[in-house]
Structure 1
């Protein structure tokens, strides 16, 4: 099969899309949802455990929160240690999804690697955010950050796939999306590994670090996720 034949066969018509959307039914996001339940029953993968972020994770989080390479692609200002710890406590307090803008953050902990703050605990090497983009339209947003020292080993993909599957299975969104700095090639590649398509580039959407920055929009629909899982 040629590339032309493949792309022609795979491209749905507007009628196809309308029929598939109608079959999905109306929005049915399962909220309220309290992520505290994941403290006792965390999301586990081969190498990672994902559980709600805690204020006590601040020492590990600050290790990547203070790195210019990380801040370049995040709307986070530079913070000193006290400010960083306070920011982690604020993020850790988000637990319940019930309305637009509500969020929770999952600490990505690496099994067998001691925490910088408490050697008896596993180290937090990054975090995954789940936020309600639109309750009315059953849309959730994913966001992530991983310490550069632990990038390039598949941890972000491992965590991202686990969280993507969890939200589709547990919260029943119609759509899961991600918004990222358009210059962030690593996050763009991760979006594609999570089955998301690049749907738009919003030009000069945000002013950060003294310059206007473009935002890339990625998304995947529930039926696409389900079809990919067979």
Structure 2
């Protein structure tokens, strides 16, 4: 079980549960074509963002395998919501999890995603006791692949034309880190 003691602070960020007040800032990036380009869903309407937010609000902890924990990322300096992290508890038996991340494009290139995702890895390894955490991205998504490599995750697979995304066959990249690799960082 993982029940973070919120808010979790890093040098520049606050990681916290989502709230109803996050609808407008979450919609500000979930509605953008450049954000959803490599995702399985299209830019979201405000109503679709509200549905997604309701689910995120209900999932701020991990109680059992198969569940996902959603974490809002805000800037300490301004209180602005800039990102959305997810940690899915994939398997209790294999002690594995999967991470994912989405950030507002106006905050790209400043290291916020790496800072927040590093904390998500710490929670998964040190608090939940996972053995392995993996992440996946569309093979064209160079920014996400670079982020995972920069975190010290290793590329484990390059699956050719693995999925049909928005009418186009796409490659998938799989990255992972083991608990022992986390401890050696």
TM-score range, shorter chain: over 0.9
The answer (yes or no) to whether the contact 2:71–2:86 under 8 Å persists in 1 is yes
**How far apart, CA to CA, are the structure 1 residues paired with 2:161 and 2:143?**
20
Flag structure 1 segments of 5+ consecutive residues without an equivalent. Answer: 1-30, 114-121
Q: Which runs of 4+ in 1 moved over 3 A?
A: none
> What is the TM-score with the length of structure 1 in the denominator?
0.76
Deviation at 1:76, TM superposition (A): 2.0
Is 1:42 matched with 2:7? Answer: yes
Identify the residue that residue 32 of structure 2 maps to in structure 1.
67
How many residue pairs were aligned? Answer: 185
Q: Which has the larger radius of gyration?
A: 1
> What is the TM-score with the length of structure 2 in the denominator?
0.93
Is 1:78 matched with 2:43? Answer: yes
What SS does structure 1 have at the residue aligned with 2:39? coil
Q: Superposition pairs for residues 14-163 of structure 1, below 5 Å?
A: 31=1, 33=2, 35=3, 37-38=4-5, 41-113=6-78, 122-163=79-120
Larger proportion of helix = 1
**How far apart, CA to CA, are the structure 2 residues paired with 1:58 and 1:163?**
22
The answer (yes or no) to whether the contact 1:59–1:85 under 8 Å persists in 2 is no
Is 1:174 matched with 2:139? Answer: no
What SS does structure 2 have at the residue aligned with 1:112? coil
Judging changes above 3 Å, is the alpha-carbon distance between structure 1 residues 106 and 96 closer, same or farther for their aligned structure 2 residues? closer
CA RMSD of aligned residues (A): 1.5
**How far apart, CA to CA, are the structure 1 residues paired with 2:137 and 2:66?**
17
Flag structure 2 segments of 5+ consecutive residues without an equivalent. Answer: none
**How far apart, CA to CA, are the structure 2 residues paired with 1:55 and 1:130?**
20
What SS does structure 1 have at the residue aligned with 2:145? helix
**How far apart, CA to CA, are the structure 2 residues paired with 1:81 and 1:43?**
28
